[in-house]
Structures are given as C-alpha cells and as structure tokens.
Amino acid sequence: MAEAVPGLEVEVLDLAEINLPFLDETKPPMYGQYDHEYTKAWAAKISEADAFVFVTPEYNHTYPAVLKNAIDFLFTEWNYKPVAFVSYGAVSGGMRAADHLRTLASVLNMFALREQVLIPNYWGGLNEQGEYQFTEEQDKAATEMLEKLAFWAEEMKTSRAKLG
C-alpha cells in the first residue's frame, strides 16, 4: 500500500532477518564510531532513509526488546526524521507499545506523527492464506498516515541539510 502513496519509495526491514545481537559496541552510538560490521551495515541502512514506519507488536503493555535493541544501536542516523507507527496485539491493538515508542522517538530527535494504524486482535482478520485483510477504517488511517509521512520526509530533509 505504501508504494501507492506519491513520493514514497519503500523498503521493509525485518529485524528477524537483520538479526542484530544484543548491543555490544564499545562506544555509545552518539559517537558514530562503530566496531562491528553488522552495526556499520545497520547504520548505513538507517542513514539512507528519510522516514520510518515502526511496525510493532505489544508485549506486556509495551514494545518488544528486539525493537528497542535495534533502535539503541544507532543515534544520529535516526535524528530529525519523521516516524509513524503501526501496532498490533490483542484488544489494545498495540496502542501502549506505540505510545512508548513516541517517548523513545523524542529522545532520538525524531518527529512522531499523530496519525497511526492500530490492529487489534489481528488473528480475526486473517484470510485463508494467512494474510491480514485491512478494514476500510485501517486503510483510510494508513493512507492518511503515509501521506503525512511523505510530506514530513521532504520537509525534514531540508531541515537536516541546514544542520549540515
């Protein structure tokens, strides 16, 4: 769906495939001096993006450790970029996980968009092939979110250029 929104070129980054270890760099990420090739590759990947959609489940009322770990690996690569959230879980649709990510995003100098997509009890929306069927409401929310993300990605690119 994101490809259909003008101005967006999308790449899906699956943390299960990227398979980072628990953070094991010598220096804090604010230095931007990384020891490991996997950190350098992760930093290069995040650097090239102008905006993000964090897709998260909810575990015990928050987002999972694997997502926190992947975010903590880097710092400047996230800075001054917009981020939006798609969350899933049981009745809450992962709302608390997304809200906790908003706090984290502010520490990374990211702009967290208000527009988001919640997917409650997603197992009820799977078709026979096991693919999730978005409701009309979720489709509308996703389109609005992605259009805003495309707008802010462009705006913040200009701001980052001014910061040098």
Ligand X SMILES: Cc1cc2nc3c(=O)[nH]c(=O)nc-3n(C[C@H](O)[C@H](O)[C@H](O)COP(=O)(O)O)c2cc1C
> Please, which residue, 129 or 158, has the CB nearer to ligand X?
129
> Please, which residue, 64 or 148, has the CB nearer to ligand X?
64
Under the rule (CB under 6 A), what is the footprint of ligand X? 57-61, 89-90, 92, 94
**Least Cβ distance, residue 70 to ligand X (angstroms):** 14
Structure tokens at 101: 């990510």
**Least Cβ distance, residue 97 to ligand X (angstroms):** 8
> Please, which residue, 92 or 143, has the CB nearer to ligand X?
92
DSSP state of 50: S
Q: Cα 112 from chain centroid?
A: 10
The span from the CA of 20 to the CA of 38, in Å, is 7
Element at 148 (helix H, strand E): helix 136-163
> Please, which residue, 36 or 100, has the CB nearer to ligand X?
100
**Least Cβ distance, residue 57 to ligand X (angstroms):** 3
Q: Cα 75 from chain centroid?
A: 14
**Least Cβ distance, residue 163 to ligand X (angstroms):** 35
Residue nearest to ligand X (CB): 89
- Any idea how long the chain is? 164
Pairing mode of beta strands 82-89, 52-57: parallel
**Least Cβ distance, residue 121 to ligand X (angstroms):** 8
- The answer to whether the CB of 84 falls within 8 A of the CB of 145 is yes
> Please, which residue, 29 or 94, has the CB nearer to ligand X?
94
Classified as helix, coil or strand, 104 is: helix
The span from the CA of 45 to the CA of 41, in Å, is 6
